[in-house]
Amino acid sequence: MNMMIYYGLSLLFATSISLQSNVDQLRKNYLAASQDESICKQEIERIKDSSGESPIEMAYHGAYHMLWAQYLNAPLSKLNSFKKGKKLMDSALQKRYGDPEIHFLRLTIQQHAPGILKYNTNIQEDVDQITKHWESLPSAPVKKQVKDFLTSNQLLHDTQLKKLQI
């Protein structure tokens, strides 16, 4: 019986490490994917082969698909890629509303999506959720990335900016 518990715990731990390394890789390449088609494609391919998606993986998967739309030529292909990403992002938010990293991902897309898509109605909501749940962001590098984005896009007022300590 003890051997079975040990096996179960080690399997759970290995799965957790695999999931975390996958998410770390998605985080690491996200900014570069917005400017490099090959990185974006590589991450979409890698995540679609993932065995199961956590809400955070689902959000990154969606964000990468929405980024991918910019690299496509045919208008219908662009729209379909964006819609697929939006659906994944919406599902991630339904599963884990309030997660500041998921709100950050949606915010980055909303901030730069073409106006014709009308995907910019939740900008203030996302900023509010990010600042409200700031302390639950997973690491200092993620916090820095989020803070840099928020400040460079002038999305914070003074009281919000003071709250964002790294």
Residues 6+ apart with CB under 8 A from 98: 129, 132, 133
Task: Render pLDDT for 88-112 as a digit per residue (tens, 0 to 9).
Answer: 999 999 999 999 999 999 999 999 9
Q: Is the pLDDT of residue 2 over 70?
A: no
Taking the C-alpha atoms of residue 40 and residue 90, their distance in angstroms, rounded to an integer, is: 20
Hey, what are 70's tokens? 């910019």
Q: Is the pLDDT of residue 13 over 50?
A: no
Hey, what are 148's tokens? 């840099």
pLDDT of residue 20: 61
- More confident: 62 or 13: 62
Residues 6+ apart with CB under 8 A from 48: 61
Taking the C-alpha atoms of residue 67 and residue 47, their distance in angstroms, rounded to an integer, is: 14
pLDDT of residue 153: 94
Hey, what are 48's tokens? 């679609």
Q: Is the pLDDT of residue 7 over 70?
A: no
Indicate the residue type of 23.
V
pTM, to two decimals: 0.85
Task: Render pLDDT for 18-36 as a digit per residue (tens, 0 to 9).
Answer: 446 789 999 999 999 999 9
- Tell me the helices (H) and strands (E) count for the chain, helix number first: 8, 0
pLDDT of residue 21: 77
Task: Render pLDDT for 133-157 as a digit per residue (tens, 0 to 9).
Answer: 999 999 999 999 999 999 999 999 8
| Average pLDDT of the residues in 33-58 | 89
**Tokens 């975390």 label which residue?**
20
Taking the C-alpha atoms of residue 61 and residue 45, their distance in angstroms, rounded to an integer, is: 10
Q: Residues 36, 68: contact at Cβ < 8 Å? A: no
What percent of the chain shows pLDDT beyond 90?
74
pLDDT of residue 164: 82
- Average pLDDT over all residues of the chain: 87
The secondary structure element, H or E, covering residue 111 is helix 100-112
